[in-house]
C-alpha cells in the first residue's frame, strides 16, 4: 500500500505514535488510508451540509475495510463574491484547491481519496488534483438546490440577479424585490439551474469520476444523497484494491464524452475553461476547435434555467445524466467503452430512459440541432471566445452593434445603471481576463441587470460569464486585453459583428487602423500588485489554455 511509507517498519515508530495520539488503532493502520476531502464551510449554501455527506462517505469506507481520514478544502461562493473584488479570487481559488489537496495527499501518503465538492471552482479544483496525483479517487457532490417558489412559479438565483435590473428600470417595487430574494433559495445545495456548479457535477458523472445521480439528485433528498456517499465510500476501496487511477478513467475519450454531454444539455460556458484545465493535469490537450467540432454534431436536448423553465430537480426526475447519455448514444456520439469508477460507460446507461420527455427531448426532436456552447473566432478573438448559445434568443444569434467600452466591471455597471447603454449597443468589458483582472471575474451583475432592464444589447469580455447568465454574452475573449489582444484596441463607436451560427466575432475596423492603434497601445499598470492575486497574474496562462498556472 502507498500508505506503508508512513506506517510500516521500525523507522516509522514515531509516525505510528502520532496516529495513536489521534485515536487510530494498530488495526486501523493495517488498512488502506483513505482521505475524505470535505469542502464544508458556513459561507456557501452548496457546502453548508457537506459534513453529513462526509460522514456517510466515511461510513462507506469503514464498512468496506478502509480507514477514513477527513481533511478540509476551501471554497468561495461565486454568488456572494459576485460584483466586487471577491470575484477576482474565485477562479484563482481553483489552483489553491488543487495544490492543497496535492500537498495533503502527498504529505500523508493516502492510498485513495473521496472528494466532496459541490460548487463552481471546487469541483474542477478537486478533479485537477485527482488527475495530478493519479491515485485512486472518486467524487461525490452535495447535490443541487431545489428551485425556489415565487408567485406560483419556480425561480432560481439568476432571477434575483435580474430583478435588480427590473427594479432599476422601475418594473418592480422594492417590496417585490425583497419578496423574491427571500423566496429564491429555499435551502442547501448548489444553485438550482444548470449553472457552472451543476454542469461540472453532471460532467463528473460523464467523465466517469462520479456515480450516476452525482449531478442531479437534489441536496434536499438526504436519503438518496446519503446512500450515494456511502456507495462512493465502498467504491473507493474497490478502486484502491484494483489500482484504478484517475488517468485510467479520464482519458481523451472520456473528455470527448464530457464535451458531448455538455453540448447536449447546454451547460455553462465555464466548462470550456475547466475541462481544458482538468485535461491538462491528465496530460491531455483539448484544443478549442474540438469543442466546436463536437458541438456541430451534437443536438441540444435539454433546456434548463437560465435558458429555460426547468431546473435540476426536473432533470433528475427525467432520468438524469444517464438518460441524456442514453439518448445521445442513439446517434453514436459517445465512447461507450470508456471506463468509469463502476465499469464501462455502456453498462451504466444500458437501462436508462427518459421519464419526462418535456425535459429531455429526443435526438430526433431537439431544441436545436447543434450544441449549447459555441466557440467564436475572428479578428476580435484570434484564439477564441465562448458563448452559451443555448441561452441566446433567436433574434440575437446574429447581431451587429456599436461598442461601448469599459476597462472594468465596476465601470460597466455604473454606466448601465446610469442609463448610458441603449438598444443596439455592444458592451465591451476588458482588462478582466486571467492576468488583467486578475482572476477572470464572472460578469453576472452587468448581464443580469441588462436582462432585467429588457435591453437588446450584446456583451463581450475577456473575463467570464456566470453559468447563470443568459443572452448574447460572449466571454473568454483571447488573447485578453492585458496581453495586448485586439479587445484592447476597441474604441467607443466601433462596430462589432456577432454571428453565432457562423462562429464569427469581428471588429469592423480595417487592418491599417488597427495597426495604428496597436502601435499606440501599452499595457496598463496591474490592478493588484501584492498578495496571491499578484502572483497568480504572473503565472496564469490565457483562457484559451484553461487559465492554468505555468
**Phi, psi (deg, nearest 5) at residue 404:** -120, 115
According to DSSP, the β-strands at 148-150 and 153-155 are antiparallel
| Contact in structure between 174 and 262 (CB atoms under 8 Å) | no
- Cell triple for residue 250? 479520464
3-state SS assignment for residue 430: coil
Helices in 421-523 by DSSP H: which ranges? Answer: 444-453, 511-520
Query: Could you tell me which residues come within 8 angstroms of residue 4 by beta carbon, excluding any fewer than 6 positions away?
Result: 109
Give the side-chain half-sphere CA count within 13 A for 385. 33
3-state SS assignment for residue 289: helix
Q: 390: how many CB neighbours lie within 10 A of its CB?
A: 27
Element (H, E) at 398: strand 398-406
| Contact in structure between 259 and 199 (CB atoms under 8 Å) | no
| Contact in structure between 115 and 72 (CB atoms under 8 Å) | no
**d(C-alpha 98, C-alpha 126), whole Å:** 6
522 in catalytic set: no
**d(C-alpha 156, C-alpha 100), whole Å:** 32
Q: Which of 466, 478, 542, 544 is catalytic?
A: 466
- Residue located via cell numbers 479570487: 89
Q: Which of 94, 169, 389 is nearest to 263 (CA)?
A: 389
| Contact in structure between 462 and 483 (CB atoms under 8 Å) | no
The set of catalytic residues is 466
Amino acid at each position: 500500500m502507498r500508505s506503508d511509507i508512513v506506517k510500516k517498519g521500525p523507522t516509522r515508530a514515531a509516525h505510528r505514535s502520532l496516529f495513536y495520539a489521534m485515536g487510530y488503532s494498530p488495526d486501523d493502520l493495517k488498512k488502506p488510508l483513505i482521505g475524505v476531502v470535505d469542502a464544508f464551510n458556513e459561507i456557501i449554501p452548496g457546502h453548508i451540509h457537506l459534513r453529513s455527506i462526509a460522514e456517510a462517505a466515511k461510513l462507506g469506507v469503514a464498512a468496506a475495510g478502509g480507514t477514513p481520514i477527513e481533511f478540509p478544502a476551501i471554497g468561495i461562493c461565486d454568488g456572494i463574491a459576485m460584483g466586487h473584488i471577491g470575484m477576482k479570487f474565485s477562479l484563482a481559488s481553483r489552483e489553491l484547491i488543487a495544490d492543497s489537496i496535492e500537498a495533503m495527499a502527498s504529505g500523508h501518503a493516502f492510498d485513495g481519496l473521496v472528494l466532496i465538492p459541490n460548487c463552481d471552482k471546487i469541483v474542477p479544483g478537486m478533479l485537477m488534483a485527482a488527475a495530478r496525483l493519479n491515485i485512486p479517487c472518486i467524487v461525490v457532490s452535495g447535490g443541487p438546490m431545489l428551485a425556489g417558489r415565487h408567485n406560483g412559479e419556480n425561480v432560481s438565483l439568476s432571477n434575483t440577479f435580474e430583478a435588480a435590473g427590473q427594479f432599476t428600470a422601475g418594473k418592480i417595487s422594492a417590496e417585490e424585490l425583497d419578496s423574491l430574494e427571500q423566496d429564491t433559495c429555499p435551502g442547501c445545495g448548489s444553485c438550482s439551474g444548470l449553472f457552472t456548479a451543476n454542469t461540472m457535477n453532471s460532467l463528473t458523472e460523464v467523465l466517469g469520476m462520479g456515480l450516476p445521480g452525482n449531478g442531479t439528485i437534489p441536496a434536499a433528498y438526504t436519503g438518496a444523497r446519503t446512500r450515494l456517499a456511502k456507495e462512493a465510500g465502498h467504491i473507493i476501496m474497490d478502486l484502491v484494491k484494483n489500482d484504478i487511477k484517475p488517468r485510467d478513467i479520464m482519458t481523451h475519450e472520456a473528455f470527448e464524452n464530457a464535451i458531448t454531454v455538455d453540448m447536449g444539455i447546454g451547460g455553462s460556458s465555464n466548462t470550456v475553461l475547466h475541462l481544458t484545465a482538468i485535461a491538462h493535469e491528465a496530460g491531455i490537450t483539448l484544443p478549442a476547435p474540438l469543442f466546436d467540432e463536437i458541438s456541430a454534431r451534437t443536438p441540444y436536448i435539454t433546456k434548463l434555467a437560465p435558458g429555460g423553465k426547468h431546473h435540476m430537480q426536473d432533470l433528475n426526475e427525467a432520468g438524469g445524466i444517464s438518460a441524456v447519455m442514453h439518448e445521445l448514444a442513439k446517434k453514436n456520439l459517445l465512447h461507450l467503452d470508456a471506463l468509469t469508477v463502476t465499469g464501462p460507460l455502456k453498462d451504466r446507461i444500458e437501462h436508462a430512459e427518459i421519464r419526462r420527455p418535456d425535459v429531455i427531448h429526443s435526438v430526433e426532436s431537439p431544441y436545436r440541432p447543434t450544441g449549447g456552447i459555441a466557440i467564436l473566432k475572428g479578428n476580435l478573438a484570434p484564439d477564441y471566445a465562448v458563448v452559451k448559445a443555448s441561452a441566446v434568443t433567436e433574434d440575437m444569434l446574429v447581431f451587429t452593434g456599436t461598442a461601448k467600452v469599459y476597462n472594468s466591471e465596476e465601470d460597466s455597471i455604473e454606466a448601465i445603471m446610469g442609463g448610458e447603454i441603449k438598444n443596439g449597443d455592444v458592451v465591451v468589458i476588458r482588462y478582466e481576463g486571467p492576468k488583467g483582472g486578475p482572476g477572470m471575474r464572472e460578469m453576472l451583475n452587468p448581464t443580469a441587470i441588462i436582462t432585467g432592464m429588457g435591453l437588446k444589447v450584446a456583451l463581450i469580455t475577456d473575463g467570464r460569464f456566470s453559468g447563470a447568465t443568459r443572452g448574447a454574452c460572449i466571454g473568454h475573449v483571447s488573447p485578453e486585453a492585458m496581453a495586448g489582444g485586439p479587445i484592447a484596441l476597441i474604441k467607443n463607436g466601433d462596430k462589432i459583428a456577432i454571428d453565432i451560427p457562423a462562429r464569427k466575432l469581428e471588429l469592423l475596423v480595417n487592418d491599417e487602423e488597427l495597426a495604428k492603434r496597436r502601435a499606440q497601445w501599452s499595457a496598463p499598470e496591474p490592478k493588484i500588485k501584492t498578495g496571491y492575486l499578484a502572483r497568480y497574474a504572473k503565472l496564469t496562462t490565457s483562457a484559451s489554455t484553461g487559465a492554468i498556472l505555468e
